[in-house]
Structure 1
Amino acid sequence: MSDTGRAALDAATTEEHRIALIRREALALISAAPARCTRVRLEVGDCVVEMSWEQPAVAPAAPVAPAAAVTVTATPAAPVTVVAEAAPADDSHSVTSPMVGTFYRAPEPGAHPFVEVGDRVEVGDPVGIVEAMKLMNQIVSDVAGVVVAVDVADADGVEFGQTLVRVKADGS
C-alpha cells in the first residue's frame, strides 16, 4: 500500500470509506503489475488484501518452465508475500527472490529460522523474508518437499531471480 493510501486509510472514519480506500489501492496494484491478476481477496476486518498474478513472460535462453503464481498478501502492519520459481541446476526446485533486497532467514532477530536443511515444507510454508524498500516480503514455498539447501545467509543482499532455498520436491 502506498504511503498516501496508508495515510488515507488511517484517517478513514467509516467502514465504507475504508473499504473504498482498500479497493482503490488494490486496483492501483493490479494496474501497476506487469502480468494479469488472477485472484483478488479483500477483507476489511484487520485490513487483509490478497492478490495473485501470473508470472510475467521473460525472454529465456533455455526452455521455458510453466508460469509460477505470484501471491501478494498485505495487512496493515505486515506487508507482502511473494512466491517465485526458476529452473534449478540439479533435480531440486529453486525458490527464488522475486525482487532485489535483503534476505532474512527468521521472522525477527533472534528467532528460529523459517527453514533449515532437512525440514519438510508444504506449498505456502514460509522459507524467508526479503526486505525491499522498507517492506518485509514473506517468501513461501510453491512446492511440497524437503529443504536440501539454503543458498543465502541471513541479512545478505539478493538479486531478482537469485535462488534462496532449494527443495527436493515430492516425487522428484
Structure 2
Amino acid sequence: MRPAELSSRSGSAEDDVPGEEDRSLRDEVVDLARALPGPLRRLTVRSGDRAVEVEWATGTPPAAAPPVPVSGGLQAVASPPAEVPEPEEEPEVPEGTVAVRAPLVGTFYAAPSPGAEPFVRVGDEVEAGQTLGIVEAMKLMNPIVADSAGVVAEIRAGDAESVEYDQVLLLLRPPGGAR
C-alpha cells in the first residue's frame, strides 16, 4: 500500500463517524503515513485508548523519518527495526486443496474444551459452515468455519498453538476428490 492510496481509502464508513476529534485523528494518521518512507503493508488505527500500528512490506525496512506531530502534543517517530527477520517459508498449499486460514492472531484450539473430542480429524468430511476449530483472541472465542464442503486433508495448527493472521490452519480437499 502506498501512502498516496490512503486518502481514497480513508473516505467510506469513517465519514459517518461524527466528531471533529475523529476526523482530526484520521487526518493526522494520513499525514503520518505519507511522511513515512517506503511502501506500507498495513496501517491500523484505533480510536479508543488510541493506538497506531504501522507495518512495512517485507524486505523493505523503513529508513528513519523525522518526528511528525500527532494529537496531544505527542510526536510519532518512525524508526527502522534493528534487524528485519526473514519471513519463515510457509509450506505451499498443494494443488487441489483449499487452505483454511486464521482470520486473526490468537490461540488455535482443535476442540471445544480441554479433553473433548476435536471438531475435525484428518479424513473427516465437512460441510460449509461447519466449525473446524476456534481461535481465541482477547478472551473471545472465534469459530473457524468451512467456507465450502470438503474433506480434511491436513491439520497444520496444533491444539493450543499460537497462530498468526492468515496462517494456514487446515487444508481441505473437494468432496469426492482423490485421497
| The structure with more strand, counted as a fraction of residues | 1
